Chain A
Amino acid sequence: MEGDKMDNPIIRVRQLTKKYGDFTAVDHLDLDIATGEIFGLLGPNGAGKSTTILMLLGLSEPTSGEIEVCGTDPIRSPIAVKRLVGYLPDNIGFYESWTALENLVLTAQLNGISYTEAQRRSLSLLEKVGLRDVAEKKVGKFSRGMRQRLGLADSLIKNPKVLILDEPTLGLDPMGVKDFTSLILRLSREEKLTVLLSSHQLYQVQQICDRVGLFIQGKLVADGSIHDLASRLFQDKPRHIQLKVHQMDTQRARGILEEMQDVKIIGQQDNLFHIDGDEIIVHHLAKKLVEHDIHITQLQQRIYGIEDIYAHYFEGGSTNDAK
């Protein structure tokens, strides 16, 4: 796959299948995640992301297939896996009438940590996620963002090697999302964690993930870094170019564009042109326009991002051109 990096993946999934009656939630999934990377599982609701995560943790039994997390099979020895994997579910529950500290201490103690050590570790984690001031407050009074941060502390308390986050930013406001993703990024780099996060929110994922996997109807349809995916997908697609010229030059510019054979104008709003063409064209076009002394105010080639990749697979290949 990606050469030497993938020789020893920390999470290895082979031909994983999960069926609920006739419905196939996860369909022959193959997945490798390298140590230390942040991997984003992307997909619409009901694509099988959460099911996959539950199977990785040994909380749900696969119909068939193999899983290996940190060299252990979570189906046979779920406890060994759960010792090494921190898990933040999409809507984490705490004991509402307990304080944040008590909730964390309980989790720590369930991991075999003594009370005093649990107390110490909980406080330092609460400090890290910025909840030190409300450690003694009941969780019932917490906001969504605070709960999510407490959840992160909760999943980190066992000093995990792998952190699995299921829709970690669901229901947070834009600022909350930004804070939270940067917190995940910082913590994962500090503690050298492997992070697997699932999401259907695209921007946040684009920002922090080293690699993404696209998940649709139980199948991993593509995986790789966002840049790789985009160039692989759209290499033979026409490039969408936006050209804006000075008001005075609109007519002349149109003439030039119509003259060029490789160029196809697909839209015009006053002095703004939408053009389809390949990579060489941009260069060509610019040269020609300058030669004719046309005043260019904007010449932009569209970069394909995660949304286009997503749309490509989700809508079954028909993207763009809708304008």
Chain B
Amino acid sequence: MTLNKNNNLYAFSILVKKEIADHIRSWKFIILLAIILLTCVASLYTSLQALKNTAPGPNDPDAAFFFLKIFTTSDGTMPSFHLFVGFLGPLLGICLGFDAVNSEFNGRTLGRILSQPIHRDYFLNAKFIGSLTVIGVLFTSLVLLTIGAATLLVGFPPTLMECNRLFLFTLLTIVYVAFWLNLSILFSVRFKHTATSALVAIAIWLFFTVFYPIMINIVAKAVQPNPYASEAEIMQYQHFMLTLMRFAPSQLYSDGTNMLLMPSIRSLGPLHMEQLQGAIPSPLPIWESIKVAWSQMVALIACTIICFAASYYFFMRKEIRC
């Protein structure tokens, strides 16, 4: 039986290897990779320039976190690194996943693979693990390269605290891209044509990046309280708007990254004056930062898992007629 198990693992690793090789060789991935690399290098360069010219003031609580600032600062010409990733990451995920199952189905290779002695879910799992590996390696190396380059430029290494936060930031980014990956894999299981699944996935991405904020603005105008309304009413309004915004996965991601990369942030929502009274403007310890954005991160992970579970369900029930 152990031999059997080893065999299964071997077959699975072969499938994962095939996935990774397919991604690395494919043009769509190479092009998207080039875009991401270029924009990231550009945004890092501008942030380094900005930091060089305007050194953080002594009373800035984030002054001690130089390496975190690299990822969030910008001189105004380009958006910062974490905004870029929040924008392009979904595209990368969609690009890796939108044709995962239906292209193999249409090319009739799905039937050939599944008529080999492997479990049916291996196919889908390998698609997911393979793409996740590519995403993970890509973002880890991107962050490490940035830290390395910055260390060379400024001449001092990052602290352990910064490393921890950057590690969590990388992890969060991978989860965020994995969400879009799973969403597009789900569409690739559901829709027969690769074009349909790509368009649907991109439409959803476009909806959340462009139209959703517009809709929120409209709603905001409609329910806006009177400027002379009571404080409680205004607070309620603010909370309501934030809740609406957090239906967008990009909002969840940016809440999480903001907390991780800016240790001085105390809360993601509005605060009462009395809550701020007596607060020392010092950075939060990492665990406290995580706690602030805890629900957002959990929601993001939950979305990822739900998408994967749905594609798993549909894939296992799919009729393989080849």
Contact = CB atoms under 8 A, between A and B. Distances in A.
Chains A and B are bound partners: yes
Interface of A: 50, 54, 57, 59-60, 78-80, 82-83, 85, 87, 89, 91-97, 106-107, 109-112, 154, 158
B321 interface: yes
Given A54-B320, A89-B322, A112 B109 contact: no
B70 to A, nearest CB: 39
Nearest to B18: A106
Nearest to A114: B10
Interface of B: 7, 10-11, 14-15, 18, 25, 104, 107-120, 319-322
Nearest to A105: B14
Contacts of A50: 321
B322 A109 contact: no
A102 to B, nearest CB: 10
B107 A96 contact: yes
Q: Which 6 A-B pairs have the closest CB atoms?
A: A93-B108, A112-B7, A110-B116, A93-B109, A83-B117, A82-B117
A57 B321 CA distance: 12
A82 B320 contact: no
A93 B106 CA distance: 9
Contact of B118 (A91, A96, A110): A110
Nearest to B26: A97
A212 B263 CA distance: 77
Contacts of B10: 109, 112
Contacts of B110: 93
- Residue of B104, B107, B117 with most chain A CB atoms under a 10 A cut-off: B117
A110 B319 CA distance: 21
Nearest to A151: B112
A109 B8 CA distance: 11
A109 B319 contact: no
A41 B15 CA distance: 33
A82 B116 contact: yes
Nearest to B109: A93
A110 B113 contact: yes
A95 B103 CA distance: 11
B271 to A, nearest CB: 57
A158 B117 CA distance: 10
Contacts of A93: 104, 107-112, 322
Contacts of A97: 25
Contacts of A60: 319-321
A94 B319 CA distance: 20
A59 B116 contact: no
B257 to A, nearest CB: 37
Given A79-B118, A93-B108, A112 B25 contact: no
